[in-house]
């Protein structure tokens, strides 16, 4: 039984497949040997890059299935083709904020009745721990909780993947807010810079996600991505860069009250970003709680050789 279970391919549908994390999840699922389906939505219109991305997935062996959030039956039909559904809908204010669209997916999964696991779009801070979060950024967590409640109320088996800062947004820039590149001369340090943060390469997040899909150990569990070597303070991250470049940066420490000082005057996406940075770098919301080995991705899947941040930062030299 165990052997045939392992050789049996898991069929997975990725929704939001052309997005930032979605495209990585598609590739990781294919690499893991899952029979991978990708939802193609009519809203793609004239977005040539997304169309080309879909064609590239097809070339790698993915199957394209049409479906729309405005056509419930098309979603039900798409969902009926697979065992597992992974959603990678965007939930950040400066891109598209689509978290609640997933409620339509929950309805379709509920009606189809065949799905063995649903992974909603999470991949960041753990929503049930963020009830105190600052508005408007808090909306992201409230909406993710709404989706979780719908999943659990419908009795749909799930895995929630949480717990790391995307390296492209938080590591390459040494956690500076308005750039994605390392600063050349000066760096802002949040507080004393000694709060532990978790960083992860987005491709590694996708690899861990692909491995959880048919793992009985992760059924109805929250899996935290917290690779031990990537649990670093901001100061440690800056020091890695200084060591690689042989150049010391001028550091400015920003007190919490100064960091939040003019938040009301900012545009909504910026306010949301400030709030999230505050919870990560001042409160330490990613590392202020214990995570057991059975719920931490790098200990569940030691075969994934995750990218350490010194290797990641070398890309910018």
Whether residue 121 contacts residue 205, with contact meaning beta carbons closer than 8 Å, is answered with no
Q: Torsion angle of alpha carbons 147, 100, 136, 122, nearest 10°? A: 50
Whether residue 115 contacts residue 85, with contact meaning beta carbons closer than 8 Å, is answered with yes
Estimate the share of the chain in helix, then strand, then coil, as percent rounded to the nearest 5. 45, 20, 40
Q: How far apart are CA 62 and CA 76, in angstroms?
A: 19
Q: Kindly list the catalytic residues.
A: 144
Q: Which of 42, 35, 37 is nearest to 17 (CA)?
A: 37
Q: Which of 3.10.620.30, 3.40.640.10, 3.40.50.720, 3.40.50.620 would CATH assign to domain 11-316? A: 3.40.50.720
User: For the chain, what is the radius of gyration of the CA atoms?
Assistant: 20
pLDDT recorded at residue 256: 98
Q: Tell how many helices (H) and how many strands (E) occur in the chain.
A: 13, 12
- Where in the chain are the domains? 11-316
pLDDT recorded at residue 8: 72
How far are the Cα atoms of 5, 86, 203, 215, 223 from residue 24, in angstroms, in the given order?
25, 12, 6, 19, 18
pLDDT recorded at residue 5: 47
Backbone phi, psi, residue 195, to 5°: -80, 135
pLDDT (tens place) for every residue of the chain, 317 residues total: 344 445 578 999 999 999 999 999 999 999 999 999 999 998 888 999 999 999 999 999 999 999 999 999 999 999 999 999 999 998 665 556 689 999 999 999 999 999 999 999 999 999 999 999 999 999 999 999 999 999 999 999 999 999 999 999 999 999 999 999 999 999 999 999 999 999 999 999 999 999 999 999 999 999 999 999 999 999 999 999 999 999 999 999 999 999 999 999 999 999 999 999 999 999 999 999 999 999 999 999 999 999 999 999 999 99
Q: pTM (2 decimals)?
A: 0.95
pLDDT recorded at residue 45: 86
């Amino acid at each position: 039984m165990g052997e045939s279970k392992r050789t049996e391919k898991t069929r997975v549908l990725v929704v939001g497949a052309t997005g930032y994390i979605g495209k990585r999840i598609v590739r990781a699922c294919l690499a893991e040997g899952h029979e991978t389906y990708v939802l193609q939505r009519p809203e793609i219109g004239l977005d040539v890059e997304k169309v080309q991305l879909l064609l590239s997935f097809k070339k790698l062996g993915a199957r394209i299935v049409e479906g729309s959030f405005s056509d419930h039956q098309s979603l039900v039909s798409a969902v009926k083709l697979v065992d597992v559904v992974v959603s990678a809908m965007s939930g950040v204010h400066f891109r598209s904020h689509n978290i609640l669209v997933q409620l339509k997916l929950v309805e379709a999964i509920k009606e189809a009745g065949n799905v063995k696991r649903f992974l909603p779009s999470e991949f960041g801070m753990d929503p049930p721990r963020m009830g105190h979060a600052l508005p408007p950024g808090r909306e992201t967590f409230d909406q993710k909780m709404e989706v979780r409640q719908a999943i659990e109320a419908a009795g749909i088996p799930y895995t929630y993947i949480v717990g790391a800062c995307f390296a492209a947004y938080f590591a390459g820039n040494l956690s500076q807010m308005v750039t994605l590149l390392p600063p050349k001369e000066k760096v802002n340090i949040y507080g004393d810079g000694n709060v532990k943060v978790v960083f992860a390469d987005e491709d590694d997040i996708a690899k861990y996600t692909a491995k959880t899909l048919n793992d009985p150990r992760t059924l109805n569990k929250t899996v935290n991505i917290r690779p031990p070597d990537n649990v670093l303070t901001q100061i440690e991250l800056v020091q890695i860069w200084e060591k690689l470049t042989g150049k010391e940066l001028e550091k400015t420490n920003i007190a919490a009250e100064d960091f939040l000082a003019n938040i009301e005057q900012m545009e909504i996406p910026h306010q949301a970003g400030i709030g999230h940075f505050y919870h990560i770098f001042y409160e330490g919301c990613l590392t202020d709680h214990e995570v057991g080995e059975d719920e931490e991705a790098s200990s569940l899947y030691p075969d994934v050789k995750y990218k350490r941040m010194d290797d990641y930062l070398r890309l910018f030299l």
